[in-house]
């Protein structure tokens, strides 16, 4: 066990911040996936026979209101997490939402899974994770490890 004297305070704080941000974003992905599930379930409540009925049926659907509420909450939490942490670290985590939605669609909605879907989602997840990497390098030119070690004091 490391004694407190061997770890300086900013380093420890940096690590705790990072852990907290990652857990926060992980919660965002679960809330985000639950939101999509509710939006899909609530979409059955929508009556498109007229513009007025479409708006009314959307505004009064409990599932849709719940879905939008969760989506909003997940977005606010994500923005909050972004304030303290590099995009390059959080984008790979946020891209997990696509995996949760695929799994939830099969389990809760009885949708079929195919190799096309698995391949498509896997490539999209990789793409979203890569986008964050591009953003991290924008501020910290050079290796992605710079973003990883940012905030951690080296001796």
Partner 1 sequence: MSATMSSILLVLLASFVGSFGAVLLKSGSMRASGTPLSMILNPRVIAGCVTYVLSSVFFILAVRQGELSFLYPMIALGYVWTMLWSKLVFGEPFTKNKFVGIGLILVGVALLNLGRK
- Residue numbers at the binding site for partner 1 (CB under 8 A): 36-37, 39-40, 42-44, 46, 48, 54, 58, 64, 68, 71, 75, 79, 98, 101-102, 104-106, 109, 111-117, 119-135, 137-138
Minimum gap (Å) between residue 38 Cβ and partner 1: 10
- Rank residues 12 and 71 by Cβ distance to partner 1 and give the closer one: 71
Which candidate, 76, 75, 70, 73, places its Cα nearest to that of 40?
70
Distance of CA 42 to the CA centre of its chain: 22
Torsion angle defined by CA atoms of residues 142, 145, 146 and 150, in that order, rounded to the nearest 10 degrees: 170
Could you tell me the smallest distance in angstroms from the CB atom of residue 63 to partner 1?
10
For the chain, how many residues are written? 155
Residues 6+ apart with CB under 8 A from 9: none
- Are 128 and 94 a contacting pair, CB within 8 Å? yes
For the record, the structure tokens of 4 come out as 């407190």
- Minimum Å gap between C-beta 146 and partner 1 is 13
Distance in Å, CB of 74 to partner 1, minimum: 12
Query: In terms of CB distance, is 54 or 153 closer to partner 1?
Result: 54
Residue 5 or 115 with smaller CB distance to partner 1:
115
DSSP character for 85?
S
Write down the least CB distance from residue 60 to partner 1, Å: 13
Question: Could you give the CA distance from residue 16 to residue 36 in angstroms, rounded to a whole number?
Answer: 30
When the beta carbons of 18 and 132 are compared against partner 1, the nearer one is 132
Nearer to partner 1, 10 or 72 (CB): 72
């Amino acid at each position: 066990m490391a004694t407190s004297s061997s770890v300086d305070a900013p380093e420890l704080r940096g690590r705790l911040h990072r852990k907290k941000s990652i857990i926060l974003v992980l919660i965002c992905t679960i809330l985000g996936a639950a939101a999509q599930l509710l939006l899909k379930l609530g979409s059955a409540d929508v009556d498109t026979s007229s513009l007025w009925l479409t708006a009314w049926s959307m505004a009064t659907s409990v599932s849709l209101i719940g879905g939008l509420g969760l989506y909003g909450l997940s977005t606010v939490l994500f923005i909050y997490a972004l304030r303290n942490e590099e995009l390059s670290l959080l984008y790979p985590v946020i891209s997990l939402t696509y995996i949760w939605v695929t799994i939830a669609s099969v389990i809760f909605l009885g949708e079929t899974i195919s190799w096309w879907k698995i391949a498509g989602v896997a490539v999209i997840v990789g793409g979203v994770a890569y986008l964050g990497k591009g953003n991290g390098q924008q501020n910290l030119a050079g290796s992605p490890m710079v973003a990883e070690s940012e905030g951690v004091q080296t001796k």
